[in-house]
Amino acid sequence: MNLLQLEDVGVRFGGLRALQGVDLEVKQGEIFGLLGPNGAGKTTLFNVISGLTAPSSGTVRWRGASLAGLSSHRIARLGIARTFQNLRLFSSMSCLENVLVGMHQHARQPPLAALLQTQSFRRRESQLQQEALALLDLFQLEATAHQDAASLSYGDRRRLEMARALASRPQLLLLDEPAAGMNPSEKDELRELIRRIRDQFKLTVLIIEHHVPLMLGLCDRLAVLNFGQRIALGSPDQVRRDPAVIEAYLGGGT
Ligand SMILES: Nc1ncnc2c1ncn2[C@@H]1O[C@H](COP(=O)(O)OP(=O)(O)OP(=O)(O)O)[C@@H](O)[C@H]1O
């Protein structure tokens, strides 16, 4: 089943065509990669899916229904979460607090219960804390739970952003360059971690990443964008051998 479907999607910024006629279908449960050189339109595609940029043409469907006109907030509530290339953590809040903020989507408590600090409110709060700590544990951040996000290494901050996105219990997780700034062993661990969270949370993952070997080793299928157009689509093997990809992006070797 197609969880997400893009039909003939185009985005214009003045005279610049950031995306043109992009068709894409992402199936439930797959790890789908987006490759392409700088400026190819990958982040713009994420912005369209998550409702930050309205497409100039075409349609984005979620479980068959158009997302046209929905705010990014509404789209997030449908089950689409994302991370950002430029991290958007609350740097003066602790790791635990960052994850708890991510949970508010599915964990809203009645304001009166909060005001009165009822027993059920306190029980729920402690349950949420346990859930948040378990997520931090999964991302190997349990030791830094009470440290400010700003004090973390770059790689840890990237993992914290993923933990926070996952805290909203999404069905689709959009990861924008999660391996940026990570060393080779962190990248290997990241590949395993993404697979593990896909299986454990029954997620579908759409990932942008420049590190080609990581993408070919991780993704079930990939699409390659160049100058806003989809120039290739298929399994890692198909994409690796595609002459248009070799010409436009891989420069003849990986
Ligand atoms: N808000 C905007 N206003 C004007 N132009 C934009 C805007 N956002 C993106 N662009 C332009 O659209 C094109 C696609 O940008 P985008 O960030 O989607 O590429 P990308 O493939 O994600 O690149 P990178 O790998 O460098 O992140 C680029 O030429 C970029 O300068």
State in Å: Cα 214 to ligand 1 middle: 23
pLDDT attached to residue 166: 94
Contact between residue 205 and residue 225 where contact means Cβ atoms under 8 Å apart: no
Residue 8 · residue 228 · CB < 8 Å: no
Per-domain boundaries in the chain: 2-79+170-250, 91-155
Counts of helices then strands in the chain (DSSP H, E): 10, 10
DSSP-assigned states of every residue in 122-165? HHHHHHHHHHHHHHHHHTT-GGGTTSBGGGS-HHHHHHHHHHHH
Sign of the C-alpha dihedral computed for residues 115, 118, 120 and 123 taken in this order: positive
Q: Ligand 1 pocket: which residues have CB below 6 Å?
A: 13, 16, 18, 36, 38-44, 85
Token pair, residue 21, equals 């006629």
pLDDT tens track for 21-59: 999 999 999 999 999 999 999 999 999 999 999 999 999
Amino acid at 32: F
227 three-state secondary structure: coil
Ligand 1 centroid to residue 18 C-alpha, Å:
7
Residue 44: phi, psi to the nearest 5? -60, -40
C-alpha–C-alpha distance, residues 191 and 99, integer Å? 21
233 touches 221 (CB < 8 A):
yes
- What share of the chain has pLDDT > 90, as a percent? 71
Q: Which atom of ligand 1 is nearest to the CA of 44?
A: 18
* Residue nearest ligand 1's atom 12 by CA: 18
> What DSSP letter does each residue of 233-254 carry, written as one string?
EE-HHHHHH-HHHIIIIITT--
pTM of the model: 0.89
Ligand 1 centroid to residue 61 C-alpha, Å: 22
Which residues of the chain have a pLDDT value below 50? 252-254
CA 58 to chain centre: 22
User: Is it true that domain 2-79+170-250 has CATH number 1.20.1090.10?
Assistant: no
Q: Which amino acid residue places its CA nearest to atom 24 of ligand 1?
A: 38
Written as six digits, the tokens of 40 are 């190819």
- Nearest residue (CA) to ligand 1, atom 18: 41
Q: How confident is the model at residue 254, as a pLDDT?
A: 44
Report residue 191 as tokens.
Answer: 């590949």
Go through the chain and tell me how many residues it has. 254
Q: Ligand 1: distance of its center to the CA of 135 in Å?
A: 32
For the purposes of burial, counting CB atoms within 10 Å of the CB of 141, is it exposed (0-12), middle (13-18) or buried (19 or more)?
buried
**Contact of 50 with 86, CB cutoff 8 Å:** no
What per-residue confidence (pLDDT) applies to 246?
86
Distance 216 CA to ligand 1 centre (A): 23
Residue ID of nearest Cα to ligand 1 atom 29: 39
